[in-house]
Structure 1
């Protein structure tokens, strides 16, 4: 089932495992927001429990660590590689070459540290039940943003695995993901969720345009970066609108 395939690909949560080709994973992308909803429910429950016994900063720190562990740092790794390439390269080819290097560079380290610090600080600033609403919506928004990048922008490495993966994300997958993301955001977050549904796609398209201008297209790492930035943006919106 595509939901289990997406869940197994994006998280460490136990689920029925199955062999998946890049094409299969691309076809499962419509369920990425549903995976975000599962993550959001877990994180919101953890937040509600921890915030009763810990300070806001301690509770938010623990939840952000759990967030990274549940996703095995998958999108954080993409964020790091993307910033290493963009920050360290001087041409399209050099940026893509740096992004393929598995070693963590200075720009990537700064990006990961900034992402974790911003999530922690902003979440600690969101009071009461708004924190759980933000945690329900942000992982959904981040994975929904990936679908816009995959659907509307070319691959930086045509013919590669990422390109094959991207081609599996058709209009049907975008519609499926949107049909999941919209009600979850509205139910979990109300007015803030409605604002999120407007801002996140616009941000995803803008980020994708910037990356295409620098890389000639997008890669799997680019999708991870877009997810992480969209999640951070979502938390900031909740902090502003609470």
Structure 2
């Protein structure tokens, strides 16, 4: 009975994660609380599995019909719909905040503004264009199975890197804050971090060694630099910063793989 209760609790956390980080429908019986929303980040990389699966299905179906460029572009559109553009929105808000603000309070205030500014538009357009170009280069240079494995890995690892920020850094609590991300952006323990890391093992074991280590290095560098920047500018992280972390890590995983491909580090 105790084991059954634990399984139900973990299943509830999983559905919390799907409900918060995506538009994937969950049962109406799912319960929510501050604790469950905080602990559900352990399943954040597993949400990446689902997003990657949707992307892979779109590309697999449309590639022979529309060609690589349109297949990737439409997969990106579907991916944004699946997540509600949650992470892209966080990245754009960070571009506006850090681009237009100078002092900590000013940066945080700009990031809370729901309106999108010039820096946010430029940053988001650049992010999407770089992703599209990188993925297009990869799909033309890798075997389709390796390409789809890389998608799985990138969506999982980038989300796990965001969990790492929650574990190591402090959440910046704003005055009179009413942030959607506040519930999940709380301190977590080694248990949640370990569970989040577990979801990396299946794609890591299937990916080629060269791609694995190149992407791990790229993700580690991005995470360290972004964490350092957040520490200097804000003293911690916000929900928007977590979204930016996911987007930056995903992008540089693709770019590191493309660099390896173009420099002869990978067999085409």
Question: Post-superposition shift, 1:196?
Answer: 2.5
Query: What corresponds to 2:110 in structure 1?
Result: 98
Map 1:163-202 onto structure 2 (within 5 A).
165-188=184-207, 190-202=209-221
- Matches of 1:133 and 1:225, distance apart in 2: 23
Query: What corresponds to 2:8 in structure 1?
Result: none
3-state DSSP of counterpart to 2:165? helix
Query: What corresponds to 2:65 in structure 1?
Result: 53
1:15 alignment partner, one of 17, 26, 47: 26
1:230 alignment partner, one of 235, 239, 249: 249
Question: Post-superposition shift, 1:76?
Answer: 0.7
Preserved CA contact (<8 Å) 2:39 2:188: yes
- Which has the larger displacement, 110-119 or 200-209? 200-209
3-state DSSP of counterpart to 1:217? coil
Map 1:106-117 onto structure 2 (within 5 A).
106-117=118-129
Preserved CA contact (<8 Å) 2:37 2:183: no
The answer to whether 1:152 aligns with 2:164 is no
Question: Post-superposition shift, 1:188?
Answer: 4.5
Question: Post-superposition shift, 1:66?
Answer: 1.1
Question: Post-superposition shift, 1:164?
Answer: 5.3
Gaps of 5+ in 2: 1-11, 262-268
- Matches of 2:122 and 2:257, distance apart in 1: 24
- Matches of 2:174 and 2:194, distance apart in 1: 25
Query: What corresponds to 2:225 in structure 1?
Result: 206
- Which has the larger displacement, 15-24 or 132-141? 15-24
3-state DSSP of counterpart to 2:23? coil
Query: What corresponds to 1:36 in structure 2?
Result: 48
TM-score (norm. length: structure 2): 0.83
3-state DSSP of counterpart to 1:52? helix
The answer to whether 1:69 aligns with 2:85 is no
Query: What corresponds to 1:137 in structure 2?
Result: 153
Task: Decide whether aligned partners of structure 1 residues 28 and 89 sit closer, same or farther in structure 2, where only a CA change above 3 A counts.
Answer: same
Task: Decide whether aligned partners of structure 1 residues 21 and 7 sit closer, same or farther in structure 2, where only a CA change above 3 A counts.
Answer: same
Question: Post-superposition shift, 1:60?
Answer: 1.3
Question: Post-superposition shift, 1:201?
Answer: 3.4
| CA deviation string 1:99-128 (max 9, x = no partner) | 111111111111111111111111111133
Aligned-residue Cα RMSD (Å) equals 2.0
Which of the two has higher C-alpha Rg?
Answer: 2
| CA deviation string 1:140-198 (max 9, x = no partner) | 12211111111111122279665653334221111111111133233245541343234
Q: How many residues align?
A: 242
